[in-house]
Each structure stands twice: as structure tokens, then as C-alpha cells.
Structure 1
Amino acid sequence: MWAIRRTSSTALRISSRSQTFSAVTFRASYAEHKIPSSLYMDKTQFPEPSCGTRLLNRYYSYSHSQPTLNHYYSSMAGTKSSGEEDDDLADGFSELEDSITDANQENNVEDENDDGIVSEPELSEDEDNDTIVPKKTRQTKQAFSALFKVIMDSSAGPVQKALDKWLEKGETISRSDISGAMVELRKRRMYDKALQLSEWLESRKQLEFTEKDYSSRVDLIAKTRGLNAAEIYIEKVPELFRTEMVYQTLLANCVRSVQVAKAEKVFNKMKELKLPMTAFACNQMLLLYKKNNKKKIADVLLLMEKENVKPTLFTYGMLIDMKGQSSDITEMEQIVETMKAEGMDPDIKIQYILAKHYIHGGHKEKAKVIMQEIEGNDLKNNRGACSVLLQLYAMLDSVADVNRVWDVCKSNPQSDEYLKAIDAYGRLKKIEQVEAVFDQMSKNFRRISAKHYATMLRVYANNKMLSKGKNLVKQMAESGCQIGPMTWDSLVKLYVEAGEIEKADSILRRASEQNRIKPFFDTYILIMDQYAKRGDIHNAEKMFRRMRQDGYVSRLKQYHSLLRAYINAKTPAYGFQERLKADNVFPNRALAEQLAQVDAFKRTAVSDLLD
């Protein structure tokens, strides 16, 4: 069990009364209650500590209220605490751990991922945070080029036919060939081809499937055919291989899609099947509630203690980041001390989070101390720190330090260092240096990836350089580079910053209609916010519907933006309470204030006089 510390009166105290516990909702309640029959109930009792765990105490002391004793059901999973209206969908974490993740990826990836325009060190535990595949050693291109080439040469045709013909020539396939091909297909987001390969391997009995292979299949189905299809497939997986890894893969996809009810259902199912409770699964739920309902964080931590699940660095990283986001610097530091007391030192991702929040909170000297720890005594022999330092020094507006770090890299930069240098100089509005880095990259790389173009495009967008942005897009198209969500996001921002909202909307609409991969959530919100500023209810509502059609479930952030349109138009919003209820969205304080402003039946002093 975790160490239990009796601390000051601010420490969390939990009633010693017994309770019935719902694994779906993780509420820290000790009162008897009834759960709808559709929800699975864990009949075990909570332990009865006289105070919370060290981690829970640290998380909830001072700035946070104690965990509520009111019971929340899964239907309320969309609820957020007040003041969270600006919480970003892609706010910085994904939990894809080594047990089911390939973190080994080539530096010059030729397609886009969905981490964001320039991913920050805390954004994911691997370079492509939506890849859930078995961990494997890096393969050389020579080891898998033949199989991969056959798949790529199949063009738009079925992969299975091309592979059948290949086998007829007497070719053989090894697991290392398959693993290498899968990695390359995933890096290029060719999930459909990867799924066809997996199905062909099983149907032709070319591979004896393991739990990792079944987990990979679940992930590919979830990405190409949806979560429901993945759930159906799991029922067809042989019972021997229907392990926690398979369900964790589905859970991760539910969390990635912010499908709260489905994620809770999957987690519930894991409890029902008595599968081992892992840090991965708990971290997924922490990630989900970090995005959706921070009030439930304490309940996950209580569950982890009850099940004796040790928090990981990722667990601590999320809690530290949440404290930093709420400007609780003292509490952020105390969680770090708790982590160290448990025998874990901050890794470079957590150091980055700490330094970032120190900078944003005005504690620049503390940030510099962390940055010196990251840098070490010899940066030339610590190249892994350069990408992080480029971003942090840019946040500090230190041109000299960005130049100094880039000087270490520029004789032989890695792909990520190019990206971070472009972003850093862009933040500093040093456009000449940005273009010099991009030109050097263009000369050194055989082919520039969409990610690199999108990063450069974002710099032009942030600096309102529409003409240069258009020329870059033409260059990108002429190069034959595949355009995806990252580029769409940068392109939309380029036109939004130039004041051409309709053009930005048109680009997004065409991207959504012509491609199987949907645009980012925040790309829609960017345009929707512009319509809201204008008080353009018609187009704001259209964007709201398009987001739903493209698979983004209604969330507080969408409703905040939509209500701003009504407020700025000085128009009452009829039936909004019913809309929120239908979407299982529960207003926080900020949304409630907006609703009050557009209440069509709000009584005023004047209306009372008239009555």
C-alpha cells in the first residue's frame, strides 16, 4: 500500500462509513446508494484510511476542495468543474505505454500524426501517440522493404490479392518483416492497409496470433471502422487471448476519441471480467477525466490505492500538469516532492512541464534552474535535451539561448530539432532564421514531410503572412506531399488570422468531405469561435452540426462557443437546456452564466413592472 501520512487539517479525510462502489464512476462516496441496473457494480468495500494517501492529499490540499460525497453516475461523465471552459481537447497527454506501444519511430516521418502542430514533450509517451502496437526493436528498411513494397505497390487495390501473388512466387514472410511493415504503415496512417495485412495474415495462416496481434487488430479496427466494430471483434477473439491488453487497447481508443460513456463501459467490463487492474488502465481514466471531469480524479486515485496500483511517472506528470494549469505552483511542487519520496525522479517530460508552468506563472528563475538541470554540463553530449530547450528558451524570449542551442544542432540536426527550431524562431518572430532552418532542412532531406510543412505554415499564420503561406502550400502540393489534419489546421489558421473566415471555412469543409481522416477538434472550434465573435448564429450552428456529423460528440467547449454567438447577437437561445440534457452535457459555472444571458424567459425589473 502507499504510504499514508497524517498531515494538517487541509489533508483529505474520508468518512469511515462503508459504501457500495461503482467502478464506472469512481466516486469517493461512503454512503449507501443505488446504481442503475445497466451499470456494473463492484460489491467490494473501500479501505477505511483515516486520511487520504500521500498522493491524494497532495493533489487535494489547499486549492482543491475535498472529493464530493455526492454520487455521480456515468450519465454525468461530461461534467466539468467550474472554470474549465478553456480546457483543450488535445490538452497534452496520451497514455500509450511500452507494454502495448511501439515508441521506436523513424525521425523523418513522411506523414502527419495528430499530436498537434508542434508536439511538446508532455504530449505523449511516444512520437506517434495514436499508435497502439506491440513494442518491438527497430527494424532496418532492408529487413522489411520487400513486404512493405508489395503493400505500397498495391495502390488502391486490395492488399490481399497483391500478397497472394507475391506468395505464389515462392516468397516467405517472417514476423520481423510483418512488424516492420506494420510500423511503416502506421507511421503513414495507412491504417486500412495495415488492417488488410492483419486480416490476410490470419486468413492465410501466415502468422500465429498472440495477444499483441489481437490488440493491434482491435486498434486498427477502432481507427478505421469505429469503436462499435472493435467491440464486436473482441467478442470473436479466442477467450485465451481476450486479455487486459486487448481491452486496454479499446479503452485507449475510447479515451482518445473522448467517448466517456464507452470508456467507462470498457473499464467496467474489465472489472466484470476480473482482469488485472493496471496503471495503464487507471492512467487512461485519469486522462479522460483530466479532459472531461476533473472532479473524478480523486476517485481514480482512491481506486488505485484500493487495488494497490502504483502510480507511474505518467500519473504524476498528469497531476503536476493539472496543478500547473490551475496556477497552483505550490501544490505542483508538493506533488513533485511526493513523487520523489516514492523513489521516482522527474524525467525530461516532467521537467519540461514544470519549467513551462514556472514560465507562464512568472517564476522565471525557478524555470531556469529546471532548464539547467535539463541541459547538464555538456549540451553537445546531451542532444536529447535540445528540442526541449529550444521551446523553453523561446518561451523565455531568449533569442541568444535559442541561437546557442541551435548552434549545437545545426551541423547535423535531427528531424525533431528542425521542427522545434522552426517553432522557436517563429515564437520569437525571427522569420529570417525560420526560413533559413527550413531551407537547410529542404536541402538535407530527400523529401519534406507534411509535419514540417505544417509547422512552417503555422509560423506564417501566427505572423499573418498570408502571401508566404499561400506560396508554401503551392510548394507543398507540387512536392506531392500528403495533406492531412495538421496541414488543414495550419491552413485554416492562416486564413483566420488574415481575416478570411469564409475561405477558412471552405477549406475545412472540403477537407472534411474529401478525406477519410477527420480534421482536428480545435480546427472546427477555431472557425466556430470566429463566427461567435461576429454573432453569426447561422454559421456557428452549422459548424456545431458539422462537428457532430464528423464524429465529435458535443462537449462544453462547443456549447461555450455556440452560446457566445447568441450573446454577441443579443438573441435569446430557445431550448438550450433541453439540448444540453439530450447530449448529457452538464453546465459548469461559466456555461450557466452564459445560459442566463440568453435565457428567453429571464425576468428583469422592467418585465416585472410591465406585468
Structure 2
Amino acid sequence: MKLGDWSRVFNNLKTHFDFKNVLGVFPYSTSTTTTTGRSKMAMMGGSRKGLFRKISPIGDLSVSIVPVLDQRVEEGNSVEKHLLQFYINRLRSYRRYAHALEMSLWMTDKRYFPMSYRDVAIRLDLIAKVHGIEHAENYFNSVPKQLKGLAVYSALLYCYAREKSVEKAEALMQRMRDLGLDRSAFVFNVLLSLYYKADNYEKLDSLMQEMEEKGIARDIYTYCICLKVNAAQSNVDGIEDILRTVESDSNLASDWFFYTTAGDAYIKVGHLDKAFAMLKKSEELIEGRGIVYDNLLTRYTTLGKKEEVLRIWELYKTYVKVYNKGYIAIICSLLKFDDIESVEKIFDEWESQTPHTFKL
């Protein structure tokens, strides 16, 4: 096929996968060959007979997974709460929110497991994603007072931020202040990110000042937001000040995400050599995670570094199980370099792996 034909194919393919929400397409955390990866497989049953193996092929979100769950119990199998919690998080990571919500409800309505703060927070988030913010607000109002802790308030705040509802987010934040639930960097980061996206730097600066006055230390994600703000304002000195601050603070564990964010900041201000150096630092902190390879493929492509794209792809295949998102990332990258020969080769490789890439 010609370049234009391949581009159309993959644009349609990405849209198709996103619409279908097929398990395995968005592997934000994939199993590796490490002990951790094997232990996760063991938790999920380890074989095709496991509960998750029966749920995973149901990619159509209009098809309920409740009958599968009910059958599991009817067959005399035990279903423990910690496993259900693990499965719910797994479904969330693959954007199968409707199925994750079904499992959350089944966990309490059919198995009568008590809810923790975290369970309530996750359910609230899922309700917002599946049914909308009004349903999430109704659920929040129905939650017993003893379960309305920081996690639940933070979940609603995050939902407001995702909807870019500045007024509602600010009102909830004030309520959290009144209740003494404003003592974590995470809460401030949610609102800081919202102000950044709304280009409201005056309120962002005021909120940063509030953090300082309350003695709330900035964490690595606070500094990531600061990197984005400085990049948006073309403040190269500000970007470099943040890098020096983070790298000199032993209490801050800079991770791959921090350095890819720094790379993005340098790209935005046109310092491509410095962006390249940040991506190299990010590579040193990969820790066998598929999402990092996906990010690096995209960013090296933005820098026009085809040789780095191909090098990262080989590392990807060596250290991590590659799922559909990984194949889409590398093919889309190579299309930008007009490398049809490599695209066709990798597409054939992907096609040969199809029976595996749709499974965990």
C-alpha cells in the first residue's frame, strides 16, 4: 500500500479500538517476565479457566459481565474481595469502565463485601465516567458520612477537574479546607492542573502560595505541572530551575514521567537537544513498563530521531510483552518517517501475534 493508504488504515484502526474498548488495546501496565508480572498472572487465575480469562474476551461494553460472575459462584468457586479489587483496577486500566463498575456493584450487592474508602472513591470515579457527573454527585451525596474521607472527596474533585468544572472544583476545595482535608499535595495538584489547562496562571500562583503557607511540600507531580506552566510561558530559565531543584532534593524521587514531561517542555520551547537528553534520562527509569516505551516512541518521533525509534522498539520487544497499543505506536511513528517497508514488516509481525495481543 501507499503511505496515504496506510495512514487511513491506522487512523481507522485507532478509532475502532478506542470505540470497542477491547481489553489489551490500552495496556497502561502490562505483564512482564519479572516476578511481579508472574504474580499478577497467578492472581488472575493463571490459566484460561480463571475468572478474568472468561471476562477478558467480552470487549463489547453493552454486554454485561454479571452472568459470568454469577456463574463463577454457582459453580462453587470462591471469589475473594482482594481479587475483585484487582480485577476492577485492571479493567479500569484498559478503559473498560462499564464492566469495572458492574464488578464494583456486584462485589457489594451480590457478595456483600464491605466498602472501604478506596472502593467508594473508585466507584464514584467509574459512575462519573459511565453515567456522567450528575450521577456521581448523587452517589457522593448518598455515601455514609463515615466513608466520606479524603479519598472520596479527592475522587469527586478529580471528576470536576476532568470535566473542567472550575466553579464546582473550587467550591468542593473550599469544603475540603473547612473539613481539614486540604493537607495533601495530591489535592492541590488536581486544582493546579485544572488552572493550568484553563490558562489561569494567577489562580495557579495563588494556590502554590497557599501550599507554601500551609507547609505542604511539592511532590514530583507538582513540579511536572510547573514544567508545563513554564513551557507554556516560554520560560527556559524556569524549566531549568525546576530541574535543578528536583535533582538536588533527595526527598524527591524523580521518575520516568518527570523526565518525559521535562522533554515535552524543552520541545515546546524549541530546545530539542535538551529534550533529547531528558528522554535519555527517562530511559534509565523505565523499569520494564510498556507505557514508558509507548511514550518514548512518540517523543523520539517528534524529535525526528528514527534510529532512536527503532532502537526503543527493539528494547520494547525484548523486555515487555507488546500489546496492540505498542504496535499502533510504532507503526504510527514509522508512518511519519514514510518508512512503508518497516510498517509492512511490523504489521505482519503484529498480525501473527493477534491471538496473543488480545489476551493478558
Band of TM-score, shorter chain: 0.7 to 0.9
Q: Match for 2:304: what amino acid?
A: D
Q: Match for 1:421: what amino acid?
A: I
2-side partners of 1:222 and 1:347: how far apart? 30
Q: Match for 1:297: what amino acid?
A: L
RMSD: 3.7
Question: Is structure 2 residue 88 aligned with structure 1 residue 182?
Answer: yes
Paired residues in the alignment total: 321
In the other structure, the counterpart of 2:256 is 348
In the other structure, the counterpart of 2:266 is 358
- Counterparts in 2 of 1:235 and 1:356: CA distance versus 1, 3 Å: closer
- Counterparts in 2 of 1:288 and 1:330: CA distance versus 1, 3 Å: same
In the other structure, the counterpart of 1:320 is 227
> CA offsets, 1:419-478, max 9 Å, x none?
4422332332323323322221221232666xxxxxxxxxxxxxxxxxxxxxxxxxxxxx
Higher helix share: 2
1:400-415 matches, cutoff 5 A: 400-409=307-316, 414-415=322-323
2-side partners of 1:212 and 1:331: how far apart? 36
Whether the 8 Å CA contact 1:390–1:424 is kept in 2: the answer is yes
- How many angstroms does 1:396 deviate by? 2.9
1-side partners of 2:154 and 2:163: how far apart? 14
Determine which of 192, 196, 199 is the counterpart of 1:290.
196
2-side partners of 1:139 and 1:410: how far apart? 19
- How many angstroms does 1:283 deviate by? 0.4
In the other structure, the counterpart of 2:348 is 439
1:28-47 matches, cutoff 5 A: none
In the other structure, the counterpart of 1:310 is 217
Q: Match for 1:218: what amino acid?
A: L
2-side partners of 1:127 and 1:382: how far apart? 6
In the other structure, the counterpart of 1:24 is none
Q: Match for 1:394: what amino acid?
A: T
In the other structure, the counterpart of 1:142 is 45
Q: Match for 2:241: what amino acid?
A: Q
Normalised to the residue count of structure 1, the TM-score between the two structures is 0.46
2-side partners of 1:401 and 1:442: how far apart? 24
Whether the 8 Å CA contact 1:422–1:437 is kept in 2: the answer is yes
Q: Match for 2:50: what amino acid?
A: S
- How many angstroms does 1:389 deviate by? 4.2
Question: Is structure 2 residue 150 aligned with structure 1 residue 244?
Answer: yes
- Counterparts in 2 of 1:434 and 1:222: CA distance versus 1, 3 Å: same
> CA offsets, 1:14-66, max 9 Å, x none?
xxxxxxxxxxxxxxxxxxxxxxxxxxxxxxxxxxxxxxxxxxxxxxxxxxxxx
In the other structure, the counterpart of 2:167 is 261
2-side partners of 1:191 and 1:220: how far apart? 6
2-side partners of 1:442 and 1:406: how far apart? 17
Question: Is structure 2 residue 185 aligned with structure 1 residue 279?
Answer: yes
Determine which of 76, 96, 110 is the counterpart of 2:24.
110
- Counterparts in 2 of 1:300 and 1:400: CA distance versus 1, 3 Å: same
Q: Match for 1:208: what amino acid?
A: P
1-side partners of 2:283 and 2:97: how far apart? 38
Q: Match for 1:220: what amino acid?
A: L
- Counterparts in 2 of 1:291 and 1:110: CA distance versus 1, 3 Å: same
> CA offsets, 1:353-380, max 9 Å, x none?
333333443433333433444456xx99
In the other structure, the counterpart of 1:50 is none
- How many angstroms does 1:207 deviate by? 0.9
Q: Match for 2:24: what amino acid?
A: E
1-side partners of 2:98 and 2:313: how far apart? 39
- How many angstroms does 1:271 deviate by? 1.9
Gaps of 5+ in 2: 1-21, 31-38
Normalised to the residue count of structure 2, the TM-score between the two structures is 0.74
> CA offsets, 1:332-364, max 9 Å, x none?
111222333443364222222333333443433
- Counterparts in 2 of 1:228 and 1:370: CA distance versus 1, 3 Å: closer
1-side partners of 2:23 and 2:63: how far apart? 24
Larger radius of gyration: 1
Whether the 8 Å CA contact 2:193–2:225 is kept in 1: the answer is yes
1:470-549 matches, cutoff 5 A: none
Q: Match for 1:351: what amino acid?
A: Y
- How many angstroms does 1:322 deviate by? 1.9
- Counterparts in 2 of 1:445 and 1:166: CA distance versus 1, 3 Å: closer
In the other structure, the counterpart of 1:31 is none
Q: Match for 2:354: what amino acid?
A: F
- Counterparts in 2 of 1:278 and 1:139: CA distance versus 1, 3 Å: farther
Is 285-294 or 358-367 further displaced after alignment?
A: 358-367
SS at match of 1:207: coil
SS at match of 2:50: helix
Determine which of 130, 143, 146 is the counterpart of 1:224.
130
In the other structure, the counterpart of 1:396 is 303
RCO higher in structure (CA 8 A, sep ≥6): 2
Is 269-278 or 403-412 further displaced after alignment?
A: 403-412
Whether the 8 Å CA contact 1:218–1:250 is kept in 2: the answer is yes
